[in-house]
Structure 1
Amino acid sequence: MTRPWETWRAAVARHQPDYQDSVELNEVVSTLQHRPPLVFAGEVDHLRKELGRAGRHESFVLIGGDCAETFAESTANQLRLKIQTLLQMAVVLTYGSSMPVVKIGRIAGQYAKPRSSPFESRGEEVLPSYLGDAVNSFEFTAESRLHDPKRLLDTYNASAASLNLIRAFAKGGYADLRRVHEWNRGFAANPVFARYEQLAQEIHRAVRFMEAAGADFDSLRQVDFYSSHEALLLEYESALTRIDSRTGLPYDTSGHFLWIGERTRDADGAHVELLSQVRNPIGVKLGPTSTAEDIKRLTDRLNPQGEEGRLTFMARMGAEEIGSALPPLLEATKSDGRPVTWISDPMHGNTISTANGFKTRDFDTIMSEVRSFFDIHDAVGTVPAGLHVELTGADVTEVIGGSEGLDDLALEQRYESLVDPRLNHQQSLEIAFQVAEMAARANEGQTSQASSPDAFAVDDWHLFDTSSQAGRLL
């Protein structure tokens, strides 16, 4: 029986796997339909409200994680390193911008990626492209590159295990702000980590002072940490959509925040149709060819009633294109009036190839796009609400530049990504420090003051002396 949100089947579905066995696919989909949800409606509703706050310039959104997760690297240690990196970035952003940070991992579902070509050639052999572990294997053999529907079950299992561990880290004490020093252990001494350690010491002194003053720190022991991924594989997303017993409305329970990619954002396409039916907050990647008409049509389809936090546009223009491409889109949303949360994705528009054959990105170019993103929002009078980056907690060498001065030859030392290059741990912290300064400038004059001059507020690690002009973390 067709379920209400399966209207996407009548639309054009781009970048979908070419499964050879429809009977096997239907069996897998039926199995997934009876599996427990990976996330819950209440969590999704809470994130939607948080994204609405970010759109009003009351918080800042941080999204980060692998370009494409793999089953082999979805280990406890790899997840811990990524979460640790995101927690450190969030501390830096919270302290520097004087705003709460909404923490979203590009984790526990990002197992599929669209590719520019459906085929890959090596010598005279041509095989289907690697589309992520949710579809096929990276090994260059005919058997490995077959599109296997059973991998959707592996995707579910890997996502469930990852979310279980993420919840343990976020709620079980690992994210306790009083452990801010511990997150820096095990990393080589360098200026970036030294700067973080100085910040950690300031936070530690503030916490000790408040403990002596009798403050209750239960709220600092845990954080809200959300999952996100590109909702690329329509059979998988549709199978994990559930009707919430409380509201009677459909939720895609594969993740909290789902986005539609630049290649699949056709307002009449199957991806937009499916996600228009669910209650999750939805993101849309916008490249330099996006138009004001695209903005209007996507808003009409995905957020016709203008609900805060429902729709996020993620600008991935490229450093050279953003200056001309982004302003008319911001003006379009401003004229439309329906709320939108704008996030910068400075990674995907800035991929280059090196002479020695590596796909990479340049740290300075990434930062150039981020600076332009903030400057353009300031000029138009709209809100720069967040940052979306591809990163790993490991010390890989995939992005050139940064304070380490990685060059083309350094890429040969530890290039591990199977798809796109990621920021390493140090580069991730570098970006956080620089973006915190930009967010602080954007926040000047907009931070609301508490009614009581001596009031303190604890909000998701956010301990403020609201009587100070800057509202700095104590």
Structure 2
Amino acid sequence: MTVSGMHPSLTAPLSAAADTASQPRPASWSPSSWRSYPAKQQPEWPDAQLLRRVSDTLSMQPPLVLPDEIADLRQALAQVAAGEGFLLQAGDCAERFSSCTEEGVRSKLSMILQVALLLTYGSGLPVVKVGRIAGQFGKPRSRPTEVVGGVELPAFRGDIVNDPEFTAEARRPDADRLLRAYYHSLAALNVLRALTRGGCADLGQAHAWNQEFVRRSPAGRRYENAADDITWALRFMSACGVDTRLQAELHRIQLYTSHEALLLPYEQALIRYDESRGAWFDTSAHMLWVGERTRQLDGAHVELLSGIDNPIGVKVGPSTTPDQLRALCERLDPERTAGRLTLISRLGAGRADKVLAPLMRAVRNAGHTPVWACDPMHGNTFISKSGYKTRRLADIVTEIAEFFSVHNEEGTHPGGIHLELTGDDVTECLGGDLEEILDDHLGTRYETACDPRLNTAQSIELGFLVAEFLRESRPG
């Protein structure tokens, strides 16, 4: 498994991956050069001295992930870009510190494993698994404040900044939380490593990933049938003389970590220089992405990401023009290195056929070969009649279907999906086949810290559908 906990200093020699070129950085770039650019979505930290002290402390901590692991992910994404794999990027909308427990991490891991298994089983393609985990503690907000009962307070920006309780003290940004985020990320990574090395990710455990409350649903029963088929295939291999106990790939996985590179002082503090590659890496996660609200070409977030050697994601919304996207690709990937860029469309159902194709053509004509992934969640969010922020599973499926359709028409590879989901039995998104979640059900178990997530049954149902889309899109 490629998730990591405490690691030796990056000054130790590390072998560079043969097929992964280092990203050339602008001559003027440094880990702090972003400070000369306008920075959006940053909290108003009330104690500047405390922020400096915390940043200095973070800069002396061991990296959370290593350059070798980051280079492995870039190679895997290069294969996806070439049509030889599929990216599943999935996890919590906004992680809570309280979820970094053995039970919480196991639940998220099991859900990612189930969806990845269905995608591989249904399509025959290897799936690159990237979790929104061990660092997705911050969230951008549409407004810097919110008003409740005539009282206006700073918006909740995730556990890495403040607390959701609606009081002045709880909503006050606290730089000490940056350090707490680092240690909670470390704890989650250590639990992930223990679970995967301890057999949790063994294909022979596929039935154990399915929670009891899901098994009674049509999606859950269909998953059980797929797990039965895999179990029989493993027995068949053993009967033919293949010792499956010696096939490491059947008993472990590679799970990479990712989060939105939102809070710039935190990201800067975890950037390290690798002498063997002559490159800078953000060691807070294997993959970072820049969001719809922070992808300005002349902004601080793009400046910071332009100089690090991690794989970079860019959220692409409906307002993005072909010229803007082409300029962003040039800024973040001037050498057009396969595996460097993942472009994540989040357009909303009914928009892909009009918006996506011109963007894809502009990027392709400029010589870039990114992974194209679909985020069907964020463009389909609305407030229900009962007052809850929610999404319809039907809209999510529609946007994914449109994403595949456009790629099929353009003759390009639909490279992945980016989902907000949970292994818990929540009622946050409408639809599904377990007990169809209706508007008046949302308040029953609405537990998200920010945006609504697919529950386990909905995620399994979606996994089967995406596997069908992927299988139909493959040549031959």
Give the shorter-chain TM-score range. Answer: over 0.9
Equivalent of 2:413 in 372, 383, 402: 383
What is the aligned length?
Answer: 444
1:318 aligns with 2:348: yes
Tell me if structure 2 keeps the 8 A contact 1:57–1:383.
yes
Tell me if structure 2 keeps the 8 A contact 1:330–1:382.
no
Bigger shift: 28-37 or 202-211?
A: 202-211
| Displacement after TM superposition at 1:177 (Å) | 0.6
Q: Could you list the per-position Cα deviations for residues 408-456 of structure 1 after superposition, in whole angstroms to 9, with x for gaps in the alignment? A: 01112100012100000010111100000001111132xxxxxxxxxxx
What residue is the counterpart of 1:285 in the other structure?
315
What residue is the counterpart of 1:468 in the other structure?
none
Tell me if structure 1 keeps the 8 A contact 2:29–2:307.
no
Tell me if structure 2 keeps the 8 A contact 1:170–1:225.
no
Structure 2: gaps spanning 5 or more residues: 1-27
Tell me if structure 2 keeps the 8 A contact 1:110–1:229.
yes
**What secondary structure, in the 3-state scheme, does the structure 2 residue paired with 1:72 have?**
helix
Bigger shift: 237-246 or 41-50?
A: 237-246
Q: Could you list the per-position Cα deviations for residues 346-366 of structure 1 after superposition, in whole angstroms to 9, with x for gaps in the alignment? A: 000000111111110000001
1:403 aligns with 2:433: yes
| Displacement after TM superposition at 1:185 (Å) | 4.3
1:30 partner letter: D
**What secondary structure, in the 3-state scheme, does the structure 1 residue paired with 2:31 have?**
helix
Residues in 1 aligned to 2:260 and 2:456: alpha-carbon distance in whole angstroms:
23
Tell me if structure 2 keeps the 8 A contact 1:130–1:136.
yes
* Mapping of residues 54-453 of structure 1, within 5 Å: 54-188=80-214, 189-215=216-242, 216-404=246-434, 405-445=436-476
Aligned CA-pair RMSD? 1.2
| Displacement after TM superposition at 1:325 (Å) | 1.3
1:160 partner letter: L
What residue is the counterpart of 1:469 in the other structure?
none
**What secondary structure, in the 3-state scheme, does the structure 1 residue paired with 2:442 have?**
helix
Structure 1: gaps spanning 5 or more residues: 446-474
* Mapping of residues 447-466 of structure 1, within 5 Å: none
| Displacement after TM superposition at 1:3 (Å) | 8.8
Residues in 2 aligned to 1:325 and 1:387: alpha-carbon distance in whole angstroms:
18
Tell me if structure 2 keeps the 8 A contact 1:172–1:222.
no
What residue is the counterpart of 2:11 in the other structure?
none
What residue is the counterpart of 1:39 in the other structure?
65
Q: Could you list the per-position Cα deviations for residues 217-275 of structure 1 after superposition, in whole angstroms to 9, with x for gaps in the alignment? A: 23211010011100000000010000113223110000001000000001111101001
Residues in 2 aligned to 1:130 and 1:71: alpha-carbon distance in whole angstroms:
14
**What secondary structure, in the 3-state scheme, does the structure 2 residue paired with 1:145 have?**
coil
Q: Could you list the per-position Cα deviations for residues 299-342 of structure 1 after superposition, in whole angstroms to 9, with x for gaps in the alignment? A: 11110001000001000000032221111101111211221110
Q: Could you list the per-position Cα deviations for residues 58-83 of structure 1 after superposition, in whole angstroms to 9, with x for gaps in the alignment? A: 00100111110011222211111111
Tell me if structure 2 keeps the 8 A contact 1:62–1:388.
yes
Residues in 2 aligned to 1:136 and 1:231: alpha-carbon distance in whole angstroms:
17
Residues in 2 aligned to 1:269 and 1:144: alpha-carbon distance in whole angstroms:
29
Residues in 2 aligned to 1:20 and 1:377: alpha-carbon distance in whole angstroms:
47
Residues in 2 aligned to 1:58 and 1:168: alpha-carbon distance in whole angstroms:
30
Residues in 1 aligned to 2:217 and 2:181: alpha-carbon distance in whole angstroms:
38
| Displacement after TM superposition at 1:164 (Å) | 0.9
| Displacement after TM superposition at 1:147 (Å) | 0.9
2:118 partner letter: V
| Displacement after TM superposition at 1:156 (Å) | 0.2
Bigger shift: 206-215 or 234-243?
A: 206-215
Q: Could you list the per-position Cα deviations for residues 171-205 of structure 1 after superposition, in whole angstroms to 9, with x for gaps in the alignment? A: 33210111111112423412111111111111111
Residues in 2 aligned to 1:301 and 1:101: alpha-carbon distance in whole angstroms:
28
1:143 partner letter: E
Structure 1 residues 185 and 67, CA, compared in 2 at 3 Å: closer, same or farther? Answer: closer
Residues in 1 aligned to 2:41 and 2:388: alpha-carbon distance in whole angstroms:
25
Residues in 1 aligned to 2:468 and 2:367: alpha-carbon distance in whole angstroms:
28
| Displacement after TM superposition at 1:116 (Å) | 0.3
Tell me if structure 2 keeps the 8 A contact 1:171–1:223.
no
What residue is the counterpart of 2:18 in the other structure?
none
What residue is the counterpart of 1:465 in the other structure?
none
What residue is the counterpart of 1:466 in the other structure?
none
1:371 partner letter: A
Residues in 2 aligned to 1:418 and 1:98: alpha-carbon distance in whole angstroms:
35
Question: Percent same amino acid at aligned positions?
Answer: 47
2:155 partner letter: S
**What secondary structure, in the 3-state scheme, does the structure 2 residue paired with 1:116 have?**
coil
Residues in 1 aligned to 2:58 and 2:51: alpha-carbon distance in whole angstroms:
11
Tell me if structure 2 keeps the 8 A contact 1:231–1:259.
yes
Q: Could you list the per-position Cα deviations for residues 136-165 of structure 1 after superposition, in whole angstroms to 9, with x for gaps in the alignment? A: 110001011111110000100110000111
**What secondary structure, in the 3-state scheme, does the structure 2 residue paired with 1:412 have?**
coil
What residue is the counterpart of 1:462 in the other structure?
none
Residues in 1 aligned to 2:163 and 2:362: alpha-carbon distance in whole angstroms:
42
1:330 partner letter: M
Residues in 1 aligned to 2:96 and 2:282: alpha-carbon distance in whole angstroms:
22
1:207 partner letter: L
Q: What's the TM-score once normalised by structure 1's chain length?
A: 0.92
Tell me if structure 2 keeps the 8 A contact 1:62–1:102.
yes
Bigger shift: 208-217 or 334-343?
A: 208-217
